[in-house]
A and B are shown apart, each in its own frame.
Chain A
Amino acid sequence: MAPVISFQDVSKVFGSGAGAVRAVDGVTLDIEAGEIFGVIGYSGAGKSTLVRLVNALETVTSGRLLVDGQDVTALGEGRLRRVRAGIGMVFQQFNLLNSRTVAGNVAYPLKVAGWPRERRAARVAELLDYVGIADKAKAYPRQLSGGQKQRVGIARALATSPRILLADEATSALDPDTTQDVLALLRRVNRELGVTVVVITHEMDVIRSIAHRVAVMEAGKVVEHGPVYDVFAAPRERATRRFVATTLKDRPTPEALDRLRHRHPGRIVTVAIRENGAGSGVDVTAALRAHGVDGTIVFGGITELDERPFGSLTLELTGSDAAISALIADLRGRTDVDDLGTAAVAGVRA
């Protein structure tokens, strides 16, 4: 199936001459129909600019950008308005119309699309019900909590039944519980309505909890992309590793490692726990037993990502040097092992 959004060597430059900023730099990326695609990156990486190109809030400087098979870089303002009307957008600051009620906000895109009054009313009621704030129809945005505002934002974005929903830091202004509620709503929108969702965030947890695939952005470039599990369980880029570290504090910091060495004189190794090619996890206990090595778990954390194990364990190994080396070689055949050495030969990392 053809991708619903296709970036083909797309760049966006703001300004010109010495002051020019390459906000998006040669991005090639396909977003498939029906998926939740995450874009993660630090502030200024170009994430917002990248999605704003999709609904032509910004114009592409070079490259081709196909949305629903249509090259949006070649369209005039009138046609672009129709493309925009077919793409929903949710914002970090909600961007609701304070002068209109909740129902008025959700009705606005329908008015723009020229729906008659009676059909509008029915659609608004249906949408408010779907996002769970039917009782707030007559309230004004200023009377709502952040989570309620974002529900209105989502209802409004879905009003005209778009095939694509763009969410730019949709949960960044919300507390953790509300974030989970809103993410659950986005997941429902994706699953039940079949809407392709593009989620932009600087929070690894957001990606973890809803995205199927992810692109990591740095300085305007997509440095890594693929299924969420593949990208984060075996990160190749520094930026990706940093994001993993923010969500999973599973590896000892240098200071923590010093303390560990103080308490544990043996050889310390960190074993990445992830699903291997065969589909089963790494059985550390079985490996220890097979090589006649004792292992004490001294640090670590394992969680799930995309319903699969993800994390690492740090162990103190005791036994003969030969047996330990054989064990490490054996484990390395199946996963990543960081050999942190012993106190005497500290810092011998493989």
Chain B
Amino acid sequence: MNRDWSELSPILWESVRETLYIVGVTVGSGGLLGLVLGVLLYATRRGNLLENVVVFSILNVAVNVVRPIPFIIFITAVGPVTLAVVGTTIGNDAVIFAMSIMATFVTARIVEQNLVATDPGVIEAARAMGASRLRILVTVLVPEALAPLILGYTFLLIGIVDMSALAGYVGGGGLGNFAIVYGYQRFNWEVTLVTVLVIIGMVQLAQLLGNWLARKALHR
């Protein structure tokens, strides 16, 4: 066993690094695109700043269609697109591409739901000062909803760590791959357990950080 771990731990750390990379890029790209999409989804709803029935309906349907697809199926379904854009359907980059798309739609809904709770009075005040709609979206709406958005993104991050484990099944690296190759396929339960503990540790850390940041953002 001891000999095992002296061999395995460098691979484990490499897997952690890879997972962080996959998750980081996905949260970065999907999070950003999702933020834009989510703000649009909120703003184009009836009675809001950029009210637009057509845009809202298209976005709303797109989010509703994509979001419930199980990721393992989605990753295969977008295969042709992945191939066209990334050039391959296996490996980390292909996985990141598919994950980012899914993350975009998930984020869009999370963002929209958190923006709905924004006090309309604050938006009204900004309008009364002569601010343009775009300025209000960027400098009032998003900052005012920052605390719940941070919690929403923390939730997203954890969901993406979960998604990233599936990368192992399609030729990607990371902790999922590590658990499959060294744990599951070698019937090494201990490796699986250690992987689980590492993931729990990462998720806990993310949650703590998210909670702390959200509390800071409330300015109480």
B129: contacting residue among A112, A140, A143, CB under 8 A: A112
A175 to B146 Cα, complex, angstroms:
31
Question: Does A81 sit within 8 A of B, measured CB to CB?
Answer: yes
Question: Does B10 sit within 8 A of A, measured CB to CB?
Answer: no
Q: Are A99 and B128 in contact (CB under 8 A)?
A: no
Q: Which residues of B in the span 119-167 have a Cβ within 8 Å of any Cβ on A?
A: 119, 121-122, 124-132, 135, 139-140, 143-144, 146
Question: Does A142 sit within 8 A of B, measured CB to CB?
Answer: yes
Chain B residues with CB below 8 A from A99, complex form: 143-144, 146, 217, 219
Which of A82-90, A208-216, A222-230, A270-278 is the interface stretch? Answer: A82-90
Chain A residues with CB below 8 A from B124, complex form: 57, 91, 95
Q: Are B125 and A95 in contact (CB under 8 A)?
A: yes
B135: contacting residue among A86, A98, A112, CB under 8 A: A112
A86 to B139 Cα, complex, angstroms:
20
Question: Does B83 sit within 8 A of A, measured CB to CB?
Answer: no
Question: Does A113 sit within 8 A of B, measured CB to CB?
Answer: yes
Question: Does A100 sit within 8 A of B, measured CB to CB?
Answer: yes
A143 to B220 Cα, complex, angstroms:
6
Contact residues on A (Cβ < 8 Å of other chain), bracket: 20 to 34
B219: contacting residue among A83, A140, A156, CB under 8 A: A140
Chain A residues with CB below 8 A from B218, complex form: 98, 142
A89 to B119 Cα, complex, angstroms:
17
Question: Does A146 sit within 8 A of B, measured CB to CB?
Answer: no
Most chain A Cβ neighbours within 10 Å, of B119, B122, B130, B218: B130
A100 to B126 Cα, complex, angstroms:
13
| A174 shortest CB reach to chain B, Å | 16
Q: Are A89 and B130 in contact (CB under 8 A)?
A: no
Q: Which residues of A in the span 113-142 have a Cβ within 8 Å of any Cβ on B?
A: 113, 140-142
Chain B residues with CB below 8 A from A89, complex form: 125, 128-129
> Quick one: closest A residue to B143, CB to CB?
A99
Chain A residues with CB below 8 A from B128, complex form: 55, 57, 84, 87, 89
Extra inter-chain contacts (4) besides given A55-B128, A57-B127, A108-B131, CB under 8 Å: A81-B130, A91-B125, A95-B122, A99-B143
Q: Top 8 nearest A-B pairs by Cβ distance?
A: A85-B130, A140-B219, A95-B125, A99-B143, A95-B121, A84-B130, A109-B129, A89-B128
Residues in B lying within 8 Å of A, measured CB to CB? 119, 121-122, 124-132, 135, 139-140, 143-144, 146, 217-220
